[in-house]
Chains A and B, each alone.
Chain A
């Protein structure tokens, strides 16, 4: 499949370029535009970005590879990044991960047949206070996970809705 930016994308890219004295800093935001458009930045998309910006392909590749948030291959519609770093691990992060593996019928790092979900195990996402937690496609956090909450999340996502942002107060304000 040949990847191409739409006219609007290109307009936006021009606008991004005009923000910097050089083209190179535009690499990150333009990779985001590409990922939002195609769902990933695989080598073909990286090439498109490089050509569009007139930058070396190797440079764009290096940048894309550096950040885990850029998907270098096609992923499911929703990418679930389950944290199993220290705090989450202590609060049952692995239970959540394994529960999801069983529920979706895939192992971590894999994508469901229907292309709906990709499941990843990730390191600390900086929400240790609300452990265990996961993140949905580089965006919303779902905190204080329980099996029930996971069930609900999967249902919501399957319907095509997002879980929404959770508001969590500080313990000293007793409004958790």
Chain B
């Protein structure tokens, strides 16, 4: 097998590799800025310099030539090479900054050069704390600068588009952002203007950087030149904690990270998943942080004399049960939701099953033509396939209206059917409407009983995306009833770990008074003396996997190990049954 010697250690390899990526995959490091594994390699930052050569072989004997000390002689390339664009070759000898003074010196000098015109405004820069330039300067950079004259000034605070702000002085011209618009989003909206020490990225005059994926450039910019208009100056990165999650704003289920501080989600960034979204996500998915923070329903609401008032959980559960008891199960309609997780839908279905109520129905939320074939799907909901695989009856607008007409008690899970124009106020006239929901909406306003439930940021639950891939979320945000310090699956940021409840930045109101659907259902069931205990997503998924064919073999551990599992689609399942 071909072999490469890096810093004196030999590694075997197969296939084609770029040296920088190869070194990274080994868990080692060479500093770099412009290289990005999903884009072309321009090798323009010159930071990833390493020394590369081959052992000298004596032609006659075929043995390695040795020097006086008995070490193998290496024939080095006459100049240092950029690791990002050089192919690993058999017998290659590589010295990185770990073992070579020249390489250390080159990397240090390159940083000094890059920093000549850099404003060094890290104390007020959003990128500080997660800035490759800052980190690598600490690790490999010079102690100071020998540059004593005035820096070149460039435009600052340019609103490139609705969501991205440019500070051209911070830019190191790595061209990651322009390559992104050329190669990934393919809008070609950005270019580098001017040249030499005056260049920076910009749109063509009179055009806007309104790319639907524009915020990805903020993520990949290795300095603070591109920042998010929305997130600018909101938080220092080290104050937040980062929890993996799934984008719930459309059917693709992009893997994301939720960044929270004081139980508010402050920003959403993509999380790498080579089978779903690579390193990217649409800007629209990042807006979802508002759903988690704002306009939340906290404490149950009950309608009294035509007006919704805050109620207690006990009251809410009692009313819920009374209504079920008082209604013929034939007249009870349970509506599941493509906007809710598999576990939530399942809990509701199990409950209604025990009570002899028909299997829940659901209305897909698909807007034909709104997708782009990349990471934005026509499907506006994260779990349409989940509802299908649970065996829920799929209804269109007409048939749901009919079903509603026949029912007198309607239990609706996390789906704002009025807001999205499926039902009208008239359809619900004279019905008792129970809504389990996360946010206030026109639909919840009409409800007779509103049960506040957890969002994807507050529960661990799974969603089946448009490609039938099941993926799950983690708890990122505490509710009134959860506690970061006791819940081993929740991440803790610095402030969470070292702060106390008496610190003035701890805001109790940021914890919403809501329950996971399954908790509410379990309480309702136990109040009725039903033997049904659903504790958390992990256990529910095990139960689902053991009882429902499409989910066979699925569990959280597997999902975590493989970043989601591809399920058989409905049609594939039918086919396999036929065979």
Contacts and interface: CB of A to CB of B under 8 A. Distances in A.
Interface of A: 43, 46-47, 50, 56-62, 65-66
Nearest to B194: A65
B191 interface: yes
Nearest to B209: A58
Interface residues of B, number: 16
Contacts of B206: 43, 47
A46 B204 contact: yes
B207 A62 contact: no
A62 B191 contact: yes
B190 interface: yes
**Residue in B181, B194, B202, B205 with the greatest tally of chain A CB atoms within 10 Å:** B205
B391 to A, nearest CB: 49
Nearest to A68: B195
A65 B188 CA distance: 16
Contacts of A43: 204-206
Given A43-B204, A43-B205, A43-B206, A58 B194 contact: no
A59 B188 contact: yes
21 contacts: A43-B206, A47-B206, A50-B204, A56-B188, A56-B204, A58-B178, A58-B181, A58-B190, A58-B191, A58-B202, A58-B203, A58-B204, A58-B207, A59-B188, A59-B191, A60-B204, A61-B191, A61-B193, A61-B202, A61-B204, A65-B193
A132 B206 CA distance: 40
Contacts of A56: 188-189, 191, 204
Nearest to B195: A66
A47 B204 contact: yes
B407 interface: no
Contacts of A47: 204, 206
B192 interface: yes
Interface in B156-196: 178, 181, 188-195
A57 B194 contact: no
Contacts of A61: 191, 193, 202, 204-205
A57 B193 contact: no
Interface of B: 178, 181, 188-195, 202-207
Nearest to A57: B204
Given A58-B189, A58-B191, 10 more contacts: A43-B205, A47-B204, A50-B204, A56-B188, A57-B204, A58-B178, A58-B203, A58-B207, A61-B193, A61-B202
B25 to A, nearest CB: 34
A80 to B, nearest CB: 22
Given A43-B206, A47-B204, A58 B195 contact: no
Nearest to B196: A66
Nearest to B186: A56
Contacts of A46: 204-205
Nearest to B190: A58
B292 to A, nearest CB: 35
A73 to B, nearest CB: 11
B564 to A, nearest CB: 35
A151 to B, nearest CB: 35
Contacts of A65: 193-195
A59 B192 CA distance: 8
B185 to A, nearest CB: 12
Contacts of A62: 191-193
Contacts of B207: 57-58
A56 B194 CA distance: 17
Contacts of B191: 56, 58-59, 61-62
A57 B189 CA distance: 8
Nearest to B205: A43
A61 B193 CA distance: 7
Nearest to B189: A58
**Residue in A43, A46, A58 with the greatest tally of chain B CB atoms within 10 Å:** A58
A3 to B, nearest CB: 14
A65 B195 CA distance: 8
A62 B194 CA distance: 7
B192 to A, nearest CB: 6
A61 B190 CA distance: 10
Contacts of B190: 58
Nearest to B198: A65
Contacts of B202: 58, 61
A66 to B, nearest CB: 5
Given A57-B204, A60-B204, A66 B194 contact: yes
A56 B178 CA distance: 12
A170 B181 CA distance: 52
Nearest to A72: B205
B177 to A, nearest CB: 11
B526 to A, nearest CB: 62
A142 B189 CA distance: 41
B203 to A, nearest CB: 6
Contacts of B181: 58
Nearest to B188: A56
Nearest to A66: B195
Contacts of B192: 62
A116 B210 CA distance: 41
